[in-house]
Amino acid sequence: EAQVTQNPRYLITVTGKKLTVTCSQNMNHEYMSWYRQDPGLGLRQIYYSMNVEVTDKGDVPEGYKVSRKEKRNFPLILESPSPNQTSLYFCASSLMAATNEKLFFGSGTQLSVL
């Protein structure tokens, strides 16, 4: 079954404590991206990756890092989380090679930073 798997689904942490949200896809997709969803703001792109070892900033990259060491995994790293990073996060991969079209989203990670 085609899947984009995010972990954890829910996370409560404290300011400044480094965390990683994992994302893995089993569809051999080249394009992967991270979004955050906040009420009234829709989905905003944090980072995206066109392929292994290729990453680029999206609209709201401040405070986040990513890596793409292998095609299937695209972890999101918060080195020093702050309360304004409390949000619902989605990882996505694209069904179309080398584009952001036809995105397939993971189930989401609800992050609360206290």
Partner 1 sequence: GENVEQHPSTLSVQEGDSAVIKCTYSDSASNYFPWYKQELGKRPQLIIDIRSNVGEKKDQRIAVTLNKTAKHFSLHITETQPEDSAVYFCAASSENDMRFGAGTRLTVKP
Task: Tell me which of 2, 27, 41, 114 binds partner 1, using CB under 8 A.
Answer: 41
Task: Give residue for tokens 């401040």.
Answer: 62
The reply on whether position 50 binds partner 1 by CB under 8 A is yes
Of 11, 10, 58, give the one whose Cα is nearest residue 36: 58
Task: Tell me which of 44, 65, 71, 72 binds partner 1, using CB under 8 A.
Answer: 44
The reply on whether position 27 binds partner 1 by CB under 8 A is no
The reply on whether position 65 binds partner 1 by CB under 8 A is no
**Do 56 and 50 form a contact (C-beta atoms < 8 A)?**
yes
